[in-house]
Amino acid sequence: MVKYKYKGQGYSNTDINKYSKELLLNLLFSMIRIRMIEETIESKYHEDQMKSPIHLVIGQEATSVGACAALKVTDHIYSSHRTHGNYLAKGGDLKAMMSELFCRANGCCGSRGGSMHLIDKSVGMMSTSAIVSGIVPIANGAAMASKMKNEGRVIGVFFGDAAMEEGAFWESLNFAILKKLPIIYLCENNFYSVCTPLDKRQPASVELFDKAAGFGIEAKQIDATNLLLVYETVLEAAEKARNGGGPTFIENVAYRLRGHGGAGDDSKSGYRGLDEVDSWQNICPIHTLQNEMKNHNLIDENTINDFQNRTQLEIDEAFHHAVSSPNPSEDSLMQHVYAD
Amino acid sequence: MVKYKYKGQGYSNTDINKYSKELLLNLLFSMIRIRMIEETIESKYHEDQMKSPIHLVIGQEATSVGACAALKVTDHIYSSHRTHGNYLAKGGDLKAMMSELFCRANGCCGSRGGSMHLIDKSVGMMSTSAIVSGIVPIANGAAMASKMKNEGRVIGVFFGDAAMEEGAFWESLNFAILKKLPIIYLCENNFYSVCTPLDKRQPASVELFDKAAGFGIEAKQIDATNLLLVYETVLEAAEKARNGGGPTFIENVAYRLRGHGGAGDDSKSGYRGLDEVDSWQNICPIHTLQNEMKNHNLIDENTINDFQNRTQLEIDEAFHHAVSSPNPSEDSLMQHVYAD
Amino acid sequence: MPWAEAFLNTQTNNSENLADSNERHLSYTDALHEALDLALELDKKAFILGQGVNDPIGMFGVTTDLYKKFSEERVFDTPLSEEGMTGMCAGAAMNGMRPVYLHNRPDFLLLTFNQLVNHASKMHYMDEGHTNVPMVIWSAIGRGWGSGAQHSQAVQGLLLSVPGLKIIMPSTPYDAKGLMLSAIADNNPVVIFEHRWLMKQNGYVPEGIYKIPIGEGIYRTRGEDLTIVGSSHAIALAQIALDSLAEEGVTADVIDLRTIKPLDEKIIIESVKKTGRILVVDTGWAMGGVCAEVGCLVAEKAFEYLKAPVRRVGLPDSPTPAGFTLEQYYYPTSEKIADAIKLTISNDK
Amino acid sequence: MPWAEAFLNTQTNNSENLADSNERHLSYTDALHEALDLALELDKKAFILGQGVNDPIGMFGVTTDLYKKFSEERVFDTPLSEEGMTGMCAGAAMNGMRPVYLHNRPDFLLLTFNQLVNHASKMHYMDEGHTNVPMVIWSAIGRGWGSGAQHSQAVQGLLLSVPGLKIIMPSTPYDAKGLMLSAIADNNPVVIFEHRWLMKQNGYVPEGIYKIPIGEGIYRTRGEDLTIVGSSHAIALAQIALDSLAEEGVTADVIDLRTIKPLDEKIIIESVKKTGRILVVDTGWAMGGVCAEVGCLVAEKAFEYLKAPVRRVGLPDSPTPAGFTLEQYYYPTSEKIADAIKLTISNDK
Ligand SMILES: Cc1ncc(C[n+]2csc(CCOP(=O)(O)OP(=O)(O)O)c2C)c(N)n1
Ligand SMILES: Cc1ncc(C[n+]2csc(CCOP(=O)(O)OP(=O)(O)O)c2C)c(N)n1
Ligand SMILES: [Mg+2]
Ligand SMILES: [Mg+2]
């Protein structure tokens, strides 16, 4: 059964010619790279060497890539447990990520975080939480700091549809509106929380973004299989935030093509229809953009193959880096409990 | 400065003739009785014998009385810290209340609750919380029980405007809508949380009831100095809830004429304008109903005086009862930590 | 998570006593499933809720397909809203229902302390006993497989001083079922902490209804050299540690508390009077919490019998690291417990 | 609440040492006010928030009119939203700010355990020390005047085992100021529990900036017969109790912990080595928490010096009753502490 249908328009309303070829290539390649990295992780996960609970972003890459591209390098992002896409899109270091997944001392969090806590402050991937909605109030604080320090920095915070069931989310939204914080709420609505569909958790009669709008925030729902829609919407929101216009809520609708956690799809267990998954495979954000670009002669198979080949080398190297890196030592265990 | 103006229409749009004289007298008397009781408490509070933090409902009685009158005797209510009006309107025992305020063994909670926890399950005043919004999820559970047991019982829950800043409130609202719970959310919007005006806590651009509506609940804002409006609105909501129509949110707008806690008004300290308090004195819910009834020849001064005299006797007796009641014994301290 | 599953299988202490093959054996999860099944059957007021209770896997198998048998009205998935749902449970319990609210991880209980500590545990006291709050909050401690700082915590110690609450930590399938039934039948808020490393353990589980008294510990072994007190998975580790010292002739009273609140002071003191030595083991942090309470208790009420310093083995005073290697350093092992046993019995006053 | 104010005045231990009249004396609240004033002056990154900080009364007088001096940007009232605001503080702290979030009552902290325990305390560890979380959470324990079960709790014990957190409980105006300044300067999340019965106390408070090291206790008196360990208002009670036994010649080391996490093990053990006897006093529940931790610690690390059972005086295992008479039975008094002292010194092994 296809409970959650695609309701977007593909790229039919998008004028791709507005964008430079360079930008489009970058965006597409960023998505392809994230996909390839995750597919490699997937293919090796059963080897039981990445001892970390992973949550793949496959199917939802356009949100990560579109949003991060629309933000400035100096802007900051915060993320829920589904980190890979956000970390990589914001410029996170692949080697440090792979080391973290392989629990090595030179992981981006020194093996203290794992997949759910890919953090790299040097690129503005500031923090994450494995507690649903836990990162939202923290991102608010970052926006508060930006405002108090008059930094002109915009904060983006990624979270799932289920995060909107946590009270702290609404407390945060209220505060951000009250204080006109420079923050963009990037809801990744993939219709599911683990195996539970949205309509078992929130009344089907109301859209997520409408609830947010009810609080007095500018709120939009977008087809987040269309990367350019994400990009455009976040760009506008960031501009507004930077100019003191306060927060924006964006509901990014896209489908999680894999299981909630771990490798592969788990839909056979019955919590969602295989046909539903299939139907969304057809509007994979990478393929749709790729096709659109091909149609506009902005890319061809060769260029893609080239990029893929280079990326595969990069990935192989990162995996090699990770598995050949040292484990953390026992005496590091009690370090960094307190800051000096 | 009058920051929060009265925006109601008095009784100009209310057809008082729709109601029986008996009902009207009961409602008016109930408000007068609550007012007299609280004024007596106020006048004696400085004697330091009622060792309990009180929160007077003076100015907001119509919400308590109108709502409880619209509910059936078998319906249940739950309340925030501002309990007196709700307890008395639901039929709570005055003697047991006064004993509780005087910390006596025969108080309605045996001196374990005090003013913030006036509870009498025999009349359906089921529970209270001194934690803002703490009672809302609990009332939801009561509604869930009513639904699961198919009791046809409607739950009313009273809380202030600040309760809507607590995340648990929104978690509860979502759940009640999702499960179509037979519950009525009775928000008592008096514009203040202790000394903090609403606009320092929630964006002024949005009304409370609109935020609730955004979640998908039927939501109304009413002038809660007009008792009949409260009565009518709750009556309708209760009917709907009883018939499986689910929850309703009612924003009852009325002014707290006394300080947040304790006796007397504290506005001299400057957190709100004395003229604001004055402006609301003019639309005291008791006087406005009384005048309307006088205008329709439904009541005269004599009847009122009679009732007041009888009530004063009742109050004196209750105070006498309380002060002459025994204190709890030491061996009762550790009772009821656990239920058998 | 394939590696996590594999890992769990190797870590599980399959201490099934196969000697008596007539006994009925069930896994820990099946025992819990049976308890819930029986409770739902027996008491129309009981209901089950939690994120994922209706999932294909069904909360580690504890709730699998119960909704099919008892309807989605009585076994239902919830919005996340942990605080709101906990209050909802309290309210339903106050009105005659018997909710059992399941969480994947105790870490999520930290969202609910306002309802649990400020409300559910106090309601009975506050209205002089007129209101009962018969609710069960269940969660499974997630040790290992990269759970990390926010998905691995054993927070029982944070709740130990909360009046009005009962706290259960079963270590065997038998107790898991019996204590769940007792918890559902109890008229107070009861928190149950399971441990994921016990979940695949098999053991003797009688059919039908039986209850284990809440607040009573039990001797798992009897011995002379010291008293070991703990619960849940810490007891399993302690028993392995003790077994490893059997050749050296070390014997101990091993007390499985089963309930950490109310605490069975009697059995602890009785044993320490005999052995004069005590080691407290817990799945939570050594500082504060269960280790501290039991250690202090003995120094207070059995001081004259003590022949050696009180010892405790719990978690070090740091958050949980996510990585596999660091986890090995972080968690108490049976080896570390064996060392503590040796210290305790060597160290005469 | 007129009676409550009157009551507070009578209950306050006005142990001001007026001997040296050259010393500068301030009330406890004024000392705190001065600390906040100085911190806001000194560090542009510091800011203050909480429900009522801009009220006419200003959080018991601790924040009165600070917003006028430092603007409403830096001293501001908040929506209730305790959990959301705590996370906001953490996020601001992670980005270089130094928030000080004040609550009327510790009971409200129970709404914030997810941000406090799951997030603020763990962030520094989780990302290998790259992120600091320099935030202060402040609240005042509300004993008496009918506060009841939900407005009177001393929840420090619930947080004692949380790694990464620092917990402060000052007992004098001097410490209240110095520790507040240390807390704001500290690069970790720090929770401060004040006690309303100390608020009107006067005492010596130097001008300007000074800091008291977090994690160090102090001897309030030196003596021979036993060691009394505690903090905050419990120390005040213990000192009255000890004074009442002065005629009988009883003397004690009274250790004011000032910080309960990190815990100053050294001073406790040093003293117990000398006196051989210990009584732990705390404003929280006796079960679990500070009493249990200190009691266990001594039985673990100073066992050979102990001459008598460890004793503890804290709250009984029940919620707080609201009524005045029941409160008298519920709370430890200096008389009850004096009895415990007598027991501790009489009861030889
Ligand atoms: C407070 C809390 N409750 C429950 C969980 C368990 N959990 C982890 S991820 C997840 C799903 C969240 O769904 P959503 O927010 O929609 O994000 P998605 O996984 O779909 O990206 C859940 C329930 C958690 N981590 N935190
Ligand atoms: C969670 C929590 N935070 C703060 C308080 C302190 N407090 C008690 S009453 C109150 C005012 C609440 O305002 P509102 O909800 O509007 O109710 P009102 O008093 O105006 O009727 C506050 C802040 C509390 N009791 N609980
Ligand atoms: Mg989702
Ligand atoms: Mg209000």
Listing from the earlier edge strand, what are the strands of the sheet with C218-221?
Answer: C218-221, C252-256, C226-230, C278-285, C311-315
The answer to whether the CB of B188 is under 6 A from ligand 2 is yes
DSSP string, D237-251: HHHHHHHHTTTTT--
Q: Are residues C190 and C45 in the same domain?
A: yes
Q: Residues of A with CB below 8 A from B177's CB?
A: 203
Closest of D70, D205, D82 to residue D137, by C-alpha = D82
Is ligand 2 within 6 A of the CB of residue B193? yes
Please give all residues whose CB falls under 5 A of ion ligand 3, grouped by chain where several chains appear. Answer: A 160-161, 190, 192
Q: Is the pLDDT of residue A63 over 60?
A: yes
Q: Kindly state the percentage of chain C with pLDDT values over 70.
A: 93
Distance in Å, CA A82 to ligand 3 centroid: 10
> How far, in Å, CA of A145 to CA of D91, rounded?
8
The three-point CA angle C167-C170-C176 to 5° equals 110
Is the domain of C40 the same as that of C155? yes
Task: Residue D233: give the domain boundaries.
Answer: 218-346
Across D145-223, where does the E strand assignment appear?
166-168, 190-195, 202-204, 218-221
Indicate if ligand 1 lies below 6 Å from the C-beta of A70. no
CA distances from C231 to B236, C169, D221, D293 (A): 54, 6, 41, 19
Domain boundary, last residue among D204, D237, D253:
D204
Ligand nearest to the CA of A165: 1
> How far is it, in rounded angstroms, from Cα A163 to Cα D14?
50
pTM, 2 dp: 0.97
Which CATH number goes with the domain that contains C293? 3.40.50.920
The strand pairing partners of B248, in sequence order, are B184, B218
Contacts of A134 in chain D (CB under 8 A): 87, 114-115, 118-119
- Quick check: C52 and C24 in contact, CB under 8 A? no
pLDDT value, residue C5 = 64
Contact in structure between A111 and C322 (CB atoms under 8 Å): yes
Residues 6+ apart with CB under 8 A from B38: B56, B57, B58, B84
Residue D45 lies in a domain: yes
Question: Is D190 contained in some domain?
Answer: yes
Residue C209 included in any domain: no
pLDDT class of B2 with cuts at 50, 70, 90: very high
| Dist. CA B78–CA B86, nearest whole Å | 9
Tell me whether residue C25 is one of the annotated catalytic residues.
no
Claim to verify: residue C117 and residue C176 sit in the same structural domain:
yes
DSSP state of C19: S
> Which residues, other chains included, contact A324 with Cβ-Cβ below 8 Å and sequence gap of 6+?
none
Query: Does C198 lie in the same domain as C71?
Result: yes
Q: Grade residue C158 by pLDDT with cuts at 50, 70 and 90.
A: very high
Cα–ligand 4 centroid distance for D52 (angstroms): 13
Residues of B in contact with D336 (CB under 8 A): none
Side by side, the strands of the sheet bearing C190-195 are C75-76, C46-49, C98-103, C136-141, C190-195, C166-168, C259-261
- Which two three-digit tokens encode residue C102? 């399941």
- Is there a domain that residue C12 lies in? yes
Same domain, C29 and C138: yes
The residues of A whose Cβ lies within 8 A of any Cβ of B are 165-171, 174, 177-178, 201-203, 205-206, 210-211, 213-216
What pLDDT, in 10s, does the model give residues B6-52? 999 999 999 999 999 999 999 999 999 999 999 999 999 999 999 99
Q: How many CA atoms lie within 13 A of B171 on its CB side?
A: 35
Nearest residue to A318 (alpha-carbon basis) of A97, A167, A123: A97
The answer to whether residue C223 sits within a structural domain is yes
Cβ atoms C193, C157 nearer than 8 A: no
Atom number, ligand 1, closest to the C-alpha of residue D114: 1
Within-domain flag for C211: no
The Cα D238–Cα D124 span in angstroms is 37
Answer yes or no: do C174 and C243 share one domain. no
End-to-end CA distance of chain B: 56
User: What does the block give as tokens for B58?
Assistant: 């003076």
Q: In chain B, where do the E strands start and end?
A: 76-79, 125-128, 155-160, 183-189, 192-193, 196-197, 218-223, 248-253
**pLDDT grade, residue C348 (50/70/90)?**
low
Going by C-alpha positions, the residue among B121, B87, B80 that lies closest to residue B101 is: B87
Residue among A168, A201, A211 whose CB faces B214 most closely: A211
- What is the distance between the alpha carbons of residues D48 and D297, in angstroms, rounded to a whole number? 36
How far is ligand 2, taken at its centre, from the CA of residue B136, in Å? 13
Long-range Cβ contacts of B37-46 (<8 Å, 24+ apart): B37/B84, B37/B88, B37/B94, B37/B315, B37/B318, B38/B84, B40/B315, B40/B319, B41/B84, B41/B101, B41/B263, B42/B258, B42/B263, B42/B264, B43/B263, B44/B319, B45/B262, B45/B263, B45/D1, B45/D2, B45/D3, B46/B263, B46/D2, B46/D3
Residue A203 is nearest to which of B166, B178, B202, comparing CB atoms? B178
From the list A167, A168, A214, which residue is nearest B211 (CB)? A214
Per-residue model confidence (pLDDT) at position C15: 47
Last residue of a domain, one of D177, D204, D231: D204
pLDDT of residue C23: 86
In a domain, D209, yes or no: no
C-alpha to C-alpha distance for C164 and C262, rounded to whole angstroms: 9
User: What is the residue-wise DSSP string for D309-331?
Assistant: --EEEEE-SSPPP-SHHHHHHHS
A162 Cβ closer than 6 Å to some ligand 1 atom:
yes
Residues in CB range of B12: below 8 A, 6 or more apart: none
Instruction: Provide the pLDDT for residue C347.
Output: 60
Contact at CB, D163 and C318, closer than 8 angstroms: yes
D222 and D200 inside one domain: no
Say which ligand is closest to the CA of A260: 1
Q: Which residues of A200-213 are buried (b: 16+ CB within 10 A; e: fewer)?
A: bbbbeebbbbebbb
* pLDDT for position D23: 86
Q: Is the CB of A75 under 6 A from ligand 1?
A: no
CB contact under 8 A, D117 and C158: yes
Rounded to whole angstroms, the Cα distance separating D162 from B275 reads 50
CA of A213 to the centre of ligand 3 (A): 20
Q: Residue B102, SS3?
A: coil
The pLDDT confidence band at residue D17, using thresholds 50, 70 and 90, is very low
Q: What is the mean pLDDT of residues D112-118?
A: 98
Paired tokens of A113 = 């975080």
> How many other CB atoms are found less than 10 A from the CB of residue C25?
16
CB distance D102 to D48 below 8 Å? yes
Q: Is A81:A116 a contact under the CB 8 Å cutoff?
A: yes
Ligand 3 centroid, distance to D219 Cα (angstroms):
56
- Measure the CA–CA gap between D71 and B286, rounded to whole angstroms: 42
CATH number, residue D132: 3.40.50.970
* Residue ranges with strand state E in chain A: 76-79, 125-128, 155-160, 183-189, 192-193, 196-197, 218-223, 248-253
Q: Count CB-CB contacts under 10 A for residue D272.
A: 27
Catalytic residue set of D: 151
**Residue C264: exposure state from Cβ atoms within 10 A (0-12, 13-18, ≥19):** buried
Three-class SS of residue C157? helix
Taking only the tens place, the pLDDT of each residue in D231-274 is: 999 999 999 999 999 999 999 999 999 999 999 999 999 999 99
pLDDT at C3 over 80: no
Counting beta carbons within 10 angstroms of the beta carbon of residue C68, is it exposed (0 to 12), middle (13 to 18) or buried (19 or more)?
exposed
Give C68-115 pLDDT, tens digit per residue.
999 999 999 999 999 999 999 999 999 999 999 999 999 999 999 999
Q: How confident is the model at residue C2 (pLDDT cuts 50, 70, 90)?
A: low
Copy the structure tokens of residue D238. 């213990």
Q: Which of residues 116-145 of C touch D (CB under 8 A)?
A: 117-119, 121-122, 125-126
My answer on whether D149 and D54 are in the same domain is yes
Does residue D7 carry a pLDDT above 90? no
- Does D28 map to a domain? yes
Point out the residue among A103, A166, A337 whose CB comes nearest to the CB of C81: A166
Q: Is the beta carbon of B120 within 6 A of some atom in ligand 2? A: no
pLDDT tens for A257-275 read 999 999 999 999 999 999 9
User: Are residues D126 and D242 part of one domain?
Assistant: no
Q: How far is the CA of C78 from the centre of ligand 3 (A)?
A: 14
SS3 A77: strand
Q: What residues sit around ligand 4, an ion, with C-beta below 5 angstroms?
A: B 160-161, 190, 192
d(CA C42, CA B313): 53
D285: nearest CA partner in chain C: C161
User: Of ligand 1's atoms, which has the minimum distance to the CA of residue C151?
Assistant: 25
- Taking the CA atoms of B263, B268, B272 and B276 in sequence, report the sign of the dihedral they define: positive
Q: How do residues C269-281 score in pLDDT, each as one tens digit?
A: 999 999 999 999 9
Let me know whether D233 and D190 are in one domain.
no
Question: Mean per-residue pLDDT for A308-328?
Answer: 98
Q: Which of C188, A333, C28 lies closest to B337 in space, CA to CA?
A: C188
Asked if C321 lies within 8 A of A271 by C-beta distance, the reply is no
* CA distance from start to end of chain C: 50
φ, ψ of residue A312 in degrees (nearest 5): -60, -40
Q: Where are the beta strands (DSSP E) in D82-130?
A: 98-103
Same domain, yes or no, for C145 and C24?
yes
If you count them, how many residues does chain D have?
A: 349
Q: Which amino acid is at A175?
A: F
Q: What is the pLDDT of residue D10?
A: 59
pLDDT tens string B191-217: 999 999 999 999 999 999 999 999 999
Domain end (from D204, D239, D270): D204
In this structure, the number of other CB atoms found within 10 A of the CB of residue D222 comes to 13
Q: Are C193 and C233 in contact (CB under 8 A)?
A: no
pLDDT at C14 over 50: no
Domains of chain B, first to last: 56-256 (3.40.50.970)
What is the C-alpha to C-alpha distance for residues B83 and B72, in angstroms, rounded to an integer? 19
Question: What total number of domains does chain C contain?
Answer: 2
Residue C221's H or E segment, with its range, is strand C218-221
pLDDT digits (tens, 9 = 90+) for A72-109: 999 999 999 999 999 999 999 999 999 999 999 999 99
Assess whether C243 and C317 both reside in one domain.
yes
- At residue D312, the pLDDT reads 98
In DSSP terms, B249 is beta-bridged to B185, B219
Q: What does the block give as tokens for C64? A: 């699998």
Confidence of residue B168 (pLDDT cuts 50, 70, 90): very high
- CA dihedral of residues A216, A221, A226, A229 (deg, nearest 10): -30
pLDDT score at C22: 72
Residue C229 DSSP SS3: strand
CB contact under 8 A, B130 and D151: yes
CB B234 within 8 A of CB B170: no
* Interface mutation vs chain A, best among C68, C318, C324, C330, most A CBs within 10 Å: C324
Question: Quick one: which ligand is closest to D83's CA?
Answer: 2
pLDDT digits (tens, 9 = 90+) for C190-235: 999 999 999 999 999 999 999 999 999 999 999 999 999 999 999 9
pLDDT of residue C174: 98
Residues 6 or more apart in contact with residue B126 via CB below 8 angstroms: B76, B77, B78, B119, B142, C94, C95, C131
